[in-house]
Amino acid sequence: MSAHTAGAYRSDLASLLGFCERRAIPAWTALGNAEVRSFAAAEHAGGLAPRSIQRRLSAVRTFCEFLIREGCVRTNAAQEVRAPKTKKRLPTTLDADQMGRFLEFRVDDTLSMRDKAIMELFYSSGLRLSELVGLDLGAIDLLDRTVRVDGKGSKTRILPIGRFAVTALQRWLAERAALARVDDAAIFIGRSGRRLTPRAVQLRVDTWARRQGLGVHVHPHMFRHSFASHLLESSTDLRGVQELLGHADISTTQIYTHLDFQHLAKVYDAAHPRARRR
């Protein structure tokens, strides 16, 4: 597991432990289904979002499975406990024109070259933020126009790189050598010569969005959402988009079909004689 995932599990189980201490639950053998339901209810009453409660319960179920394997308990106390239903929210995207306007910013120094390469690659290949900042020099083949990505669950996938991203990467890599430290193979580095952090990338994306006058908050994952939505609008190949995104379950990818329908509905409402509002 990544350090981020391990930290999330640690935080979730610390919350469970705090609940058990407040309720004077003396041992894991005394933690039953009713207690876990009370834990979920208490988290909800405390203002935790349903999606976060789902994650907490998932961590508790996994922990209970561990306790069963270790012979500490006989049953999984969290097995039948469900979190409150979450309101389905469609991912936010930029349309093709907005994305084009965003990526047409002027490149006039080394760091703007780097930022251009980052954002062109985000949109070109649909990378997650963690995947992009984790890229090393050996992961990119500009002649073959591909990038090798180590995604969630240590799954590797090979992705195409578009021609605009190839050009931006070529320009950045020619400048990178002047900043890079000998011992750091990261493709994207900062002024210090060290690998960029996820937070640094988030700030650079937000800065350029404001400079380009988009009028909306842009974050790195929005490139991935836009990549998937635009591909699906053009190809209607859900399975192909799933492979490119690296989703283990196609149901995760299906949310973009709702985005596609939303686009079609707008076109219909604007164009059909019987759909226009007077």
Q: Which residues are catalytic?
A: 128, 152, 221, 224, 247, 256
Quick one: which of 64, 101, 94, 100 has its CA closest to 79? 64
Q: At 140, which helix (H) or strand (E)?
A: strand 140-141
Tokens of 215: 């009028």
**Coarse DSSP helix, strand, coil percentages of the chain, rounded to the nearest 5 percent:** 60, 5, 35
User: Rounded CA gap, 96 and 230, in Å?
Assistant: 7
CA–CA gap between residue 4 and residue 74 (Å, rounded): 30
CA-CA distance, 211 to 257, in Å (whole number)?
Answer: 31
